[in-house]
């Protein structure tokens, strides 16, 4: 009796600029996952300026340093392709993804943003800058957004949003802690769901199409 070939695990890359707390949640989720695994962690900052190097070792992964030129010249894309990466998750990654990488991984790159896009997005709106703007505006709610990545800052189609209530007088630090709790709660879930839906769709294809859509 002929068995259908097993579909290999989806291979995930994480790109990080800082401590990597969201990346750690993703690495933990996929450490023993049936359908996906984290195979590449990259950072545009050196080890003395980013905690992700230490965090990734907890999961048996060495973080690969790369430069802005590596990103924009296509060398990073080549590294990811050599590692047979299927998906890219940006986890506190502060650099704009060049159009060539977006095209190479069309609908395969997702990002998390610490606000309810389209509000408080765009160049320069990251980390405490976002929360300070939210606090100064006197907003009564904030949250996080997971979205597809395109070649513009924070303008890809929204995949998921979660909202937290703010109290009058909440500082940027308080807002940041509320939003970070949502990020830790949902980002790995969203990535897992996107990958699972893709795998399910691929499993429904004829065998020849599966090979083409690996």
> Active-site residues: which are they?
113
Read off the tokens for 55.
Answer: 């965090």
Q: What is the 3-state secondary structure (H, E, C) of 117-177?
A: CCCCCCCCCCHHHHHHHHHHCCCCEEEEEEEECCCCCCCCCEEEEEEEECCCCCCHHHHHH
CB 115 within 8 A of CB 139: no
Q: Which helix (H) or strand (E) holds 16?
A: strand 10-16
Q: Write out the E strands in 17-140.
A: 36-43, 64-65, 87-90, 109-113
Which long-range contacts (C-beta less than 8 Å, at least 24 apart) are formed by 70-79? 71/44, 71/95, 71/97, 71/98, 71/101, 72/98, 74/98, 74/100, 74/101, 76/42, 76/101, 77/101, 77/104, 79/40, 79/42
Contact assessment for residue 26 and residue 12, using Cβ atoms and an 8 Å cutoff: yes
Residue 190 tokens read as: 């969203």
């Amino acid at each position: 009796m002929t068995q259908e070939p097993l579909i290999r695990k989806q291979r995930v890359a994480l790109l990080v600029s800082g401590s990597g707390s969201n990346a750690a949640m993703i690495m933990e989720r996929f450490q023993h996952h049936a359908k996906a695994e984290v195979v590449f962690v990259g950072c545009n900052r050196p080890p003395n300026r980013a905690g992700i190097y230490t965090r990734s070792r907890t999961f048996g992964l060495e973080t690969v340093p790369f430069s802005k030129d590596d990103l924009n010249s296509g060398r990073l894309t080549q590294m990811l392709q050599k590692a047979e990466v299927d998906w890219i998750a940006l986890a506190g990654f502060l650099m704009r993804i060049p159009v060539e990488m977006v095209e190479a991984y069309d609908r395969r790159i997702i990002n998390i943003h610490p606000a309810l896009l389209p509000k408080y997005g765009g160049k320069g709106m990251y980390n405490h800058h976002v929360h300070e703007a939210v606090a100064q505006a006197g907003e009564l709610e904030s949250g996080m957004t997971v979205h597809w990545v395109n070649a513009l800052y924070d303008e890809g189609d929204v995949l998921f949003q979660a909202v937290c209530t703010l109290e009058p007088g909440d500082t940027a630090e308080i807002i940041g802690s509320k939003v970070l709790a949502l990020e830790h709660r949902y980002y790995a879930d969203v990535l897992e769901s996107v990958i699972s839906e893709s795998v399910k769709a691929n499993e429904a294809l004829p065998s020849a199409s599966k090979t083409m859509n690996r």
